[in-house]
Amino acid sequence: MADPILQISGLEVAVDDTPILKGVDLTVPQGEVHALMGPNGSGKSTLAYALAGHPRYEITAGSVIFDGQDIVEMEADERARLGLFLAMQYPVEVPGVSVMNFLRTSINAIRGEDISPRDFIKLFDSKSELLGFDRSFADRYLNTGFSGGEKKRHEILQMAMIEPKFAVLDETDSGLDVDALKVVSEGVNTMRGPGLGVLIITHYTRILRYIKPDVVHVMFEGRIARTGGPELADYLEEHGYVEFGAAEEAAAPAG
């Protein structure tokens, strides 16, 4: 097994002084794709934000070792520059900032050197085609007036251009129709390889039909309740989260 790209031990996280994560242990070896499943409110998105360094998500105990370094004390931008990427569930609108300007600024910040305009256009063209965008998309204002599907595809476009070492996809499948889900999944599958670890956070198993996980974790009430192979996703599709204690109606994972 490859060295772990991400090693989370005993992680506790509070939001506005309310504890949400209560001791999460999770390790992802580099090159693997892991799925993190669980019912609503189990703490999946909290883990995503805490990993990326959102200041509202306060790490109260435990450690997060990313590519050999403890990142708990780091700001979000430092983590991004180390190679951590979060594809957000709710990408934020920034009016007046073009996609082009945003992507170039981001790539320059992460690489620590300026990409030439020519190389940038080449990179943009090749990756945007993969995600189903054309050149005119670059002139639109960041997430402003985007459809749900465009927002999610744009998140994966950023990931493809930034080329992180590790990506967390936070409910990337939510709100996507089948065609958009296929485009997004295809994009992620193209990037799969020994240099990229992925954690797919999802409530449903649908996306896992297109992006096959190596390992599946189940989160419940702020802890990892079970870890297994891809067959665990199939099992959850059939049985739901009831046996972990979830109420019947919130439990169906197969949406």
Partner 1 sequence: MSSVKPPDIDLGQYKFGWHDPANYVFEPKRGLNADVVREISFLKNEPEWMLKFRLRALEIFERKPMPTWGGDMDGIDFQNIFYFIRSSEKQSTDWNDVPSDIKNTFDRLGIPEAEQKYLSGVSAQYESEVVYHSLREDLDKKGVIFCDTDTALREHEDIFREHWATIIPPGDNKLAALNSAVWSGGSFIWVPPGVQVEIPLQAYFRINAENMGQFERTLIICEPGSFVHYVEGCTAPVYTSDSLHSAVVEIIVKEGARCRYTTIQNWSTNVYNLVTKRAQAHKNATMEWVDGNLGSKLTMKYPAVWLTGPGAHGEVLSVAMASEGMHQDAGAKMVHVAPDTSSTIVSKSISRGGGRTSYRGLVQVEPGAKRSKASVVCDALLLDEDSRSDTYPYMDIREEDASIGHEATVSKVADDQIFYLMSRGLSEEEAMAMIVRGFIEPIAKELPMEYAVELNRLIELQMEGSIG
The CA distance from 75 to 69, in Å, is 13
Residues 66-125 that bind partner 1 (CB under 8 A): 75-77, 79-81, 85-86, 88, 91-97, 101-102, 105-107, 109-110
Give min distance, CB of 46 to partner 1, in A.
14
Q: Under DSSP, is residue 11 helix (H, G, I), strand (E, B) or coil? A: strand
Tell me if residue 183 falls in helix, strand or coil.
helix
Determine the 3-state secondary structure of 15 from DSSP: strand
Determine the Cα–Cα distance for residues 85 and 53; give it in Å rounded to an integer: 11
Nearest alpha carbon to residue 211 among 56, 29, 35:
35
201 binds partner 1 (CB under 8 A): no
CB of 191 to partner 1, least distance (A): 17
CB of 112 to partner 1, least distance (A): 9
DSSP secondary structure of 13-76: EEETTEEEEEEEEEEEETT-EEEEE--TTSSHHHHHHHHHT-TTEEEEEEEEEETTEE-TTS-H
According to the binding rule CB under 8 A, does residue 170 interact with partner 1? no
Binding of residue 52 to partner 1 (CB under 8 A): yes
* Interface of this chain with partner 1, residues 208 to 237, rule: CB under 8 A: none
Please state the closest distance from residue 94 (CB atom) to partner 1, in A: 5
Site for partner 1 in 127-156 (CB under 8 A): 141-142
Please work out the total of residues on this chain that contact partner 1, with binding judged by CB under 8 A. Answer: 32
* Contact residues: partner 1, CB under 8 A: 52-56, 75-77, 79-81, 85-86, 88, 91-97, 101-102, 105-107, 109-110, 141-142, 158, 162
